[in-house]
Homo-oligomer: A and B are copies of this chain.
Amino acid sequence: MDNRPIGVFDSGLGGLTVLKEIMEKLPGEDVVYFGDTARIPYGSRSRETVIKYSFQCLRFLLSKNIKAIVIACNTASAIALEESKKVFDIPIIGVIEPGAKAAIGATKNNRIGVIGTVGTINSEAYQKKIRRMHPSIEVMGVSCPLFVPIVEEGWADTDVAMITAEKYLLELKEHHIDTLVLGCTHYPILRYTVKQVMGEDVTLVNPAYETAKCTKDMLKENCLLSDKIDGAKYEFYVSDDPEKFRRIGGNILGKEISSIQKINIEVI
């Protein structure tokens, strides 16, 4: 038993979709969440920069006496997870492997699609992970750079979202995939639009949900589960604009964010 908090980080608000699932699956686990809002978005940055930023986030969380880390950002998981595991001596989980496993479990025709940021898709993290576990599966990745700004504009259910989704997803439709990984923490907010474009027969995989399940397994394996059943405490840190985070983040979580503090991540 270990009652120290779990550390969770993302480039901004998107990781709150992962935290929300963790709150539901592990209601006794305290969490320290860091959102790197001063440097969002990670998705369009170089490999070197994403690793540097991720290490700073990890070092910050480690200063908070945590017992394990969830990288709740697809880009950081895709690019920095393996490097992080080599450098930091603490259990670390990302969102890629849980999402990849769920997609393999869901496909029937062995054709899987993955959508995400340029960073996530170009890293081929999902594609490689799926092919390694199941070489006969065909995986097609498509980056959708406009999806995050559309979600952040609150336009997820508009004609702009629909036409944009039709453009991005055309190739995947023609490829007759039967399973689609929503490989960016913002994308579940677009799931109705994506579902409408792809059709009812395509299964959408939400790595946030799968990651919460895997976090529970990881804690259990390492004897790190808390002995509390509920009443977990949550601390939030951001690198810019706590008020915006409180407002939009509260909507994503469906509960008020009370304890929130701004820190200078660049000096860590």
Contact = CB atoms under 8 A, between A and B. Distances in A.
Interface stretch (A60-68, A94-102, A147-155, A204-212): A147-155
A15 B266 CA distance: 25
Given A39-B39, A146-B149, A241 B160 contact: no
A241 B152 CA distance: 25
Q: How many copies does the complex hold?
A: 2
Contacts of A155: 146
A244 B158 CA distance: 31
A38 interface: yes
A145 B146 CA distance: 11
A167 interface: yes
Given A146-B146, A241-B45, A266-B266, A160 B164 contact: yes
A240 interface: yes
Given A163-B160, A167-B160, A266-B266, A45 B240 contact: yes
Nearest to A49: B240
Given A145-B149, A149-B145, A240 B46 contact: yes
A227 interface: no
A174 interface: no
Contacts of A163: 159-160, 163
Contacts of A146: 146, 149-150, 153, 155, 160
Interface in A34-70: 38-39, 45-46, 49
Contact of A153 (B145, B240, B244): B145
A155 B144 CA distance: 12
Nearest to A148: B149
Interface of A: 38-39, 45-46, 49, 145-146, 149-150, 152-153, 155, 158-160, 163-164, 167, 240-241, 244, 266
Nearest 4 interchain pairs by C-beta:
A46-B241, A149-B149, A266-B266, A49-B240
Given A45-B241, A46-B244, A160-B160, 4 more contacts: A146-B146, A146-B150, A160-B163, A266-B266
14 contacts: A38-B39, A39-B39, A46-B244, A49-B241, A145-B149, A145-B153, A146-B149, A146-B153, A146-B155, A149-B149, A159-B163, A160-B160, A160-B164, A266-B266
